[in-house]
Structure 1
Amino acid sequence: MSAPALFTPYSLGDLRLPNRIVIPPMCQYSADGHGNATDWHLIHLGSLALSGAGLLIIEATAVEPEGRISPDDLGLWSEANAAALGKVIEGVRHHSAMPLAIQLAHAGRKASSAVPWAGGQLLSAEQGGWPCVAPSAVPYSDAEPAPLALDADGLVRVRDAFVAAARRAAAIGLDCIELHGAHGYLLHEFLSPITNRRADAYGGNLENRLRFPLEVFDAVRAVFPAGKPVGMRISATDGVDGGWDLDQSVALAHALKARGCDFIHVSSGGLSPLQKFALGPGYQVPYAARIRAESGLPTIAVGLITDAEQAEAIVADGQADLVGVARSMMYDPHWPWHAAARLGAQVEAPRQYWRSAPRGVGDLFVGAKIGMR
């Protein structure tokens, strides 16, 4: 009997994943105020790395201090950041062979925000905030000040910050990079005509709006080790009339594939408070399915994917190559175990947990051998 599609191996570049379950980036807002990882990251990532998923992507990690969503965001703009995160990765690696990726990000006009449990609003200088940058001086809402439009030197600085962070990611042994081009953050802001009002070579028509995100991709791909995958997360549509849409996302996917991109991680929204989406199970999967079908780029689908049968159908039906399970994974860090049990598959688990498999689920854990006197 063949394994369920969700539990078949898959390769991104030279990186072999044991199954099709991806843990997407989930911001923890728990760094030390200087971008350095803390014990929380060791506990959080360590727990997820024991889940049996195929790939774990570390949360959105700022490439420069001004690119943080909040003052407590993880960063990779300094050697101190790299040392702190490297220590976490070393700890995780002692107990898990799960492939580890990192999402490199710049928050653009959505930077300088309070952490979600403190309201998430834009922070003033008196509250510890800082000036935001964007492609154009277009505020997120009428109640907020306009960001500073990046000039030519600013574009070089940001691109070089992504490159420096990618070098640090390689140096601390990460297996994969995902560039954050979604959810209304800086690279997404360049893509969308709502936020990109530039009159130079980086604004206007689609080719120009693609230019800076593609330059960042090319620069990161050039410095990250060959064979180690580099991909991008995108919002397939802004959910706003006249904004970024699925047709443009397909065009971006074709351009990325031509540049050697290894995967595209398909989400939606986040750019405008005016967005409208009909939320429901798997509501973003059709975006991933069309991008995959028309570009041939390996695709990660997300969006209210919560149960094993749903995830299995997405992969088995060819809607996506990989399935991202985010909030459900935080709620249930052993989600892949339970999915394997429901689908009749096997999953990797630490030896210390082999005795936990319930009776009646068969050989749930790969290589499990239990003996006691």
Structure 2
Amino acid sequence: MNIEEIWLRMSQVKKLPAQRTVKIVNTLSQLDRINAQALQGCGMNEIQQLQFLHVPMNRIEQVQKWLTEKNNQLITFIDPNYPCLLKQIYYPPLLLFVRGKRELLRTQQIAVIGSRQASEYGRKWTNIFVKDFVQHGITITSGLALGIDGISHKAALDNNGKTIAVLGSGLDNVYPKQHYELAERIKVNGAIISEYWPNIPPLPKQFPKRNRIISGISKAVVVIEAGMKSGSLITARYAIEQNRDLFTLPAPLGNSGFCGNHWLLQQGAYLLMEPDDVLQHIAGGLNWMQTELPIEESSPTLNVVENKILGMVGYHATPVDVIAEQVQMPVAQVMTILTEMEINGVISSTAGGYIRLN
């Protein structure tokens, strides 16, 4: 079993911290034969052993064939091109599949995100901010979604800048389909990345998880416009937890499409009025080019609100509306927190609601 296959199989093993995974990969790469006994010797439990050994060989071969194609690349957690900032988040992706310029992952990045139903106000300021950012050598990162995401990618390319699109699907399944041509442009002057194997379809549960990468590889996150149910608020939450600078625009009162902006400002996000607000802020902070820092292997800690919500989730499925009523919070806000907790392995979603895992 070669090192590439070991990495691919380890990416399918759940609940293993990245640093521990790296040690296991190093051990397994020196063995002539890998079996359940060898995996047990590395500290993997029975379920993790099965997850490693039972990956169909034809799936491995499909990925390896994909990697032989031009511009298709695989970046492992220990690859020099793996973003330093991304290593510091909780639950960093073990692998990144890349099409395009992999070296961009180590450049200075600002995430520009927002609503899929972009207003003329949002379009205008996205173009203004992105144009200024790329003129300062900043790489624009976003999620290739309709609306603000797509506008930010296009604005970067139209102004001879660089951009990175983070997908919630495999790279052979560009989503949405309307952005296929835009994705092709990004491959030439930027990069498209995903933690998912190339043939994985765009499933709803993967997009909130994808958002942690958008904020994780960026020094700052700019929310152009967002309603209270916008996925941009999930990315904003990750930005706060990952200690990223978070900015958002002021917007007209009474417009529900910008309620998320005002909510973020109430939570302490920086008010964004011109590009220099971001550029001067980050220039006055810590050095842009992050060096490797020690990575702590720890379980996620829950804040007061999360603990309150967890107290409403039992070992039998609890519906979301029941949880929201008990904690006296809007359903949309509770859903955002529940999604985060599910990604962190604290709870799990079922047909009837959510159940506690530990």
TM-score for both structures, normalised by structure 2:
0.27
Q: Larger helix proportion, structure 1 or 2?
A: 2
Q: Which has the higher contact order (CA 8 A, sep 6+)?
A: 1
> Normalising by structure 1, what TM-score?
0.27
